[in-house]
Amino acid sequence: MSANAKLTVLGSGFAALTAVKQLRKRNPTAEITVISPSAEFVYLPSIIWIPAGMRQGSDLRINLDNFFSKNRVKHIAAKVLGITDDGRQVLTDNGSYDNDGLIIASGGRFIKKLPGIEHAITPCEGIAAAEKIRDRLAAMDSGTIAIGFGGNPKEPSAMRGGPMFEFLFGIDTLLRKQGRRDKFKLIFFNPAPQPGKRLGEKVPQNVTKMMQKKGIETKLGHKMVGFEENLVKTEGGEFAADLILFMPGMTGPAWLADTNLPKSEGGMIVANMFAQVQGMQKVYVAGDAGSFPGPDWQAKQAHAADLQAKAAAENLTKELKGQSDFIEFKHELVCIIDTLSHGVFVKRTDKGTTLLPPCRLFHWAKRIFEKLYLRQYR
């Protein structure tokens, strides 16, 4: 490996930035390039607090110029259009760039195929979506709010359920604080009969119990058919809603289809336990763009992306040095389901699940973690 190898990271989310830190630590003289639409990191886990005014978009949008300069990283503001030459060249709308090693951490995208999905807000699309929820809630005097999520049947891990529970419980808490919860009907809907099962066997019944206690209706176990402006349609019937929040399942980046990278049935990049793209050399994937082997409870979340990115950076460095003692990334699911005032702690590993009841301490733990995590990038 030449001392100034050209290493390229695609994206500027959780996996990408963790990969950059690890690559720089292990390759002090390498030339590291990051390609992403802007030199900005959005801390998505905290958008759940935007509707209640506990966070503003500006709190969660981090300019990465300092971070890139500190880590001697060249940032190219561009949109990826494709990858050729067995991973050695990245094509963008701002030229093409070659590399000696590549980590793909550009995220996935939501499957927007359901008829009428434009009538639903997809919260995890970012700050603008959360602000739209805030503004719509503020403008409502009463009504029905329907909140749900779906999956990618061909890629079971490609779903984001946790944040939707948080928006649901957060909106319930907000309306109670405002003294107007009695004017609203909250409905949680999901095609699975036991939503949240990947968090652990006991989670669905505990979460459903929380919903019952808070007077939240549930419509479970019916496949989604589509939406209309004020209507949610499932195979088990349809129901009216004045505000619909829906998180569809995920698939890989749009540019993936036209490349020779291996694709899973669900449209993601196939990787092994080393985060290495299957059958390719010096090409790795971390985060939402990848399809990884492992337990059926693995999920798309920032913590998993960080773990995959660490392994990708370590193994790419080893491969560049001609070593083959690769490390496997750890399978672990950790989350705090926040309700604005309390938090439910969930941790799942191969050894089992830890589920702790709602507690104020976990709400504060989530806020402190945000502060510490963002400090390294500010």
**Residues 134, 50 share a domain:** no
pLDDT at 153: 83
pLDDT at 2: 64
Provide the domain count of the chain.
2
**Lowest-confidence segment of 49-63, 94-108, 188-202 by average pLDDT:** 188-202
Domain range for residue 99?
Answer: 6-108+252-320
6 phi, psi to nearest 5 deg: -95, 110
In order of 181, 269, 297, the CA distances from 144 in angstroms are: 11, 39, 32
Q: Is the pLDDT of residue 156 over 80?
A: no
How many other β-carbons are positioned within 10 Å of the β-carbon of residue 141? Answer: 7
Query: For residue 143, with 0-12 CB atoms within 10 Å meaning exposed, 13-18 middle and 19 or more buried, which class applies?
Result: middle
Which H helix or E strand runs over 23?
helix 14-26
pLDDT band at 199 (very low <50, low <70, confident <90, very high): confident
**Residues 121, 217 share a domain:** yes
Task: Tell me the one-letter amino acid at 329.
Answer: F
pLDDT at 124: 87
**Residues 150, 70 share a domain:** no
pLDDT band at 378 (very low <50, low <70, confident <90, very high): confident
313 phi, psi to nearest 5 deg: -65, -45
Rg (CA), the chain: 21
Token reading at 76 = 């190219």
Kindly write down the DSSP assignment for every residue of 198-209, as one continuous string.
GG-TTHHHHHHH
Q: Is the pLDDT of residue 249 over 70?
A: yes
pLDDT band at 164 (very low <50, low <70, confident <90, very high): very high
pLDDT at 204: 82
Look at residues 300, 320, 340 and tell me which one is the last residue of a structural domain: 320
pLDDT band at 1 (very low <50, low <70, confident <90, very high): low
Q: Is the pLDDT of residue 160 over 80?
A: no
Q: Is the pLDDT of residue 202 over 90?
A: no
CB of 30 within 8 A of CB of 112?
Answer: no
Where does residue 175 fall: left (phi above 0), alpha (psi -120 to 50 degrees), or beta otherwise?
A: alpha
CATH code: domain of residue 52? 3.50.50.60
Secondary structure of residue 245 in the 3-state scheme: strand
pLDDT at 181: 98
In order of 33, 276, 353, the CA distances from 101 in angstroms are: 11, 11, 37
Which H helix or E strand runs over 305?
helix 302-320
User: Smallest Cα–Cα separation from 170: which of 350, 372, 344?
Assistant: 344
**Residues 62, 181 share a domain:** no
Secondary structure of residue 154 in the 3-state scheme: coil
Q: Is the pLDDT of residue 339 over 80?
A: yes
User: Smallest Cα–Cα separation from 335: which of 360, 361, 362?
Assistant: 362
User: Smallest Cα–Cα separation from 81: which of 67, 89, 92?
Assistant: 92
Tokens 């652990």 -> residue = 200
Tokens 């500006």 -> residue = 58
Q: Is the pLDDT of residue 71 over 80?
A: yes
Where does residue 53 fall: left (phi above 0), alpha (psi -120 to 50 degrees), or beta otherwise?
A: left
Q: Is the pLDDT of residue 87 over 90?
A: yes
Look at residues 204, 232, 249 and tell me which one is the last residue of a structural domain: 249
pTM for the predicted model, two decimal places: 0.94
pLDDT at 225: 95
**Residues 242, 166 share a domain:** yes
**Residues 19, 101 share a domain:** yes
Judge whether 227 lies within some domain: yes
**Residues 212, 97 share a domain:** no
Q: How high does pLDDT run on average in the chain? A: 94
Q: Is the pLDDT of residue 93 over 70?
A: yes
pLDDT band at 158 (very low <50, low <70, confident <90, very high): confident
Task: Tell me the average pLDDT across 239-250.
Answer: 96
Task: Tell me the average pLDDT across 7-18.
Answer: 97
**Residues 118, 103 share a domain:** no
Q: Which residues contact 9 (CB under 8 A, 6 or more apart)?
A: 16, 19, 20, 23, 32, 33, 34, 35, 102, 103, 105
Buried b (16+ CB within 10 A) or exposed e, 211-223: beeeebebbbebe
Judge whether 300 lies within some domain: yes
Task: Report pLDDT digits (tens) over 293-333.
Answer: 988 778 888 989 999 999 999 999 999 999 999 999 999 98
Which H helix or E strand runs over 313?
helix 302-320
Judge whether 198 lies within some domain: yes
User: Smallest Cα–Cα separation from 167: which of 140, 142, 187?
Assistant: 187
**Residues 14, 99 share a domain:** yes
